[in-house]
Amino acid sequence: MKYKSTRGGVSGIGFIDAVLMGLADDGGLLVPESIPQVGEETLRQWRGLSYPELALEVLSLFIGDEIPRPELKALLDASYGTFRDPEVTPLVRLREDLAVLELFHGPTFAFKDVALQFLGQLYAYIARKTGSVIHILGATSGDTGASAIEGVRGKEGIRICVLHPDGKVSRVQELQMTTVNDANVLNLAVDGTFDDCQRIIKELFADVEFKRSYHLRAINSINIARLLAQTVYYFYAALKLTGEGAAAPRFSVPTGNFGDIFAGYLAERMGLAVGKLILATNENNILERFVREGVYRPGEFRSTHSPSMDIQVASNFERFLYYLYEEDAAAVSAFMARLKTDGEIAIPADKRAAVQGIFDAYGVQNQECLDAIRECHASTGYLLDPHTACGVAAAERLAKGELTVALATAHPAKFDESIRLTGIGQTFPPAISGLFDKSRHVTRADGSEEAVKAELLRFF
Ligand SMILES: *Cc1c(COP(=O)(O)O)cnc(C)c1O
């Protein structure tokens, strides 16, 4: 499989080069040259595969023979061998019409591990094959950083620097990142919001010369490998349910950067039968407004109980726009230029109807999120984390009665500050409670590209 950019300036590059490039050199995002199609017969054969076996089948379609199958299998077995649940992403039925897909059984208790354990293995594989050092640079609203660091800490041939917004990540998220004391890890606490961190990263990656001379690599969901790895659990859950005779389920997806839900869209485009994809946001609801009104307009940043979704500029949105406009790179380039000058993108009514045929959207207010946690706990005994609660609340709001899979993107222990507001007590898993007495390793930086670059030059 070859990869190309949403802005038309890059094409014909292989999977490994696409992983290494991260953001495309023309400023766009990389996508496969064609979306592999999976027929009914193949889907039937995939039913009953274990998670790593299914991942091998799905990812082979996007990687081809660039990584020999036995080697890819070894990478996937290593990636998912770190998960605490033998099913990797177990499906828990809460009600006849509601199941949660627990994506948080990896090392850092958030769904980011599903993709980043694999990406860590992939980078180590590439470093071994090429004998070069890989410098990873990323921004995090909390979960990506911890997960990426966990994916590569101590690994030969890799150095990683992660920016997080100082004081705007949860206590556990901060501890998961900053208690790591491996020499190949640098944590930068940046004065600003996640959007500032992401902007700085994008600027540094857009500096092609800097990127080349330091072999800078991305871990954010601008990296195509992450999205591809995430398509797997949509297949896993849908095949499991339809195998039991259920109708094609809806998926409710707590959304920030449009990464996870884009993976669901991709799975659907590959041929997986799914119902509506429910785009659940919090009070930072620009994507909800896009689905409802056809206008994408980043606005004022709000701090909420679901900080990993406190995002205004959704970096994967461009990938969706590209498919909405039938892979028209010129149209996407024009839209992205307009976003820069006018601060918004508006699509016409026919396109809005197309969007609404795929997605339903709902923005969950802070109080509603806490109420959803309380209600679910009272009626089922199941404790939702605040992100998952946004997904559940959105699903309940939009169409009760239809079978829905709510993606459980984090373990509630990661967000105890918010859970405590509901009056519900929880016991932390030992891997989390053990973090509190460890010493911390973090460097502060003001919110400018120069300050971050200076720290990077010192570290690399
Ligand atoms: C990252 C994250 C999200 C949002 O995922 P996107 O791919 O950015 O849409 C939701 N919930 C949790 C817990 C996360 O860590």
Measure 144 CA to ligand 1 centroid, in angstroms: 8
Rounded to whole angstroms, the Cα distance separating 39 from 104 reads: 30
Residue 244 backbone dihedrals phi, psi, to 5 degrees = -90, 10
Ligand 1 atom 14 nearest Cα: 308
- pLDDT tens digits, one per residue of 79-90: 999 999 999 999
Which pLDDT belongs to residue 311?
85
First and final C-alpha spacing in the chain: 32
Does the annotation count 112 as an active-site position? yes
- pLDDT bin (cut points 50, 70, 90) of residue 222 is confident
- pLDDT bin (cut points 50, 70, 90) of residue 45 is very high
Rounded to whole angstroms, the Cα distance separating 47 from 240 reads: 7
Which pLDDT belongs to residue 183?
95
Q: What percent of the chain has pLDDT over 90?
A: 87
**Which ligand 1 atom lies nearest to the CA of residue 387?**
11
Rounded to whole angstroms, the Cα distance separating 5 from 294 reads: 24
Measure 255 CA to ligand 1 centroid, in angstroms: 6
Pick the catalytic residue from 112, 202, 240, 414: 112
Question: Is the per-residue pLDDT at 212 higher than 80?
Answer: yes
For residue 102, what are the CA distances in angstroms to 113, 143, 229, 266?
12, 15, 16, 20
- pLDDT tens digits, one per residue of 254-289: 999 999 999 999 999 999 999 999 999 999 999 999
Task: Identify which of 284, 292, 270 has the alpha carbon closest to the alpha carbon of residue 359.
Answer: 292
Question: For the chain, what is the mean pLDDT?
Answer: 95
**Which ligand 1 atom lies nearest to the CA of residue 142?**
15
Average pLDDT, integer, range 408-429: 96
Q: What is the DSSP string of 173-197?
A: HHHHHHT---TTEEEEEESS-HHHH
Measure 142 CA to ligand 1 centroid, in angstroms: 9
Domains of the chain: 91-106+225-427 (3.40.50.1100)
**Which ligand 1 atom lies nearest to the CA of residue 314?**
8
Measure 174 CA to ligand 1 centroid, in angstroms: 16
| Spatial CB neighbours of 310, under 8 Å, sequence gap ≥ 6 | 141, 168, 193, 194, 256, 282, 284, 301, 302, 303, 304
- pLDDT bin (cut points 50, 70, 90) of residue 368 is very high
Which pLDDT belongs to residue 184?
97
Residues with CB under 6 A from ligand 1: 110, 112, 143, 221, 254-261, 308-309, 387, 409-410
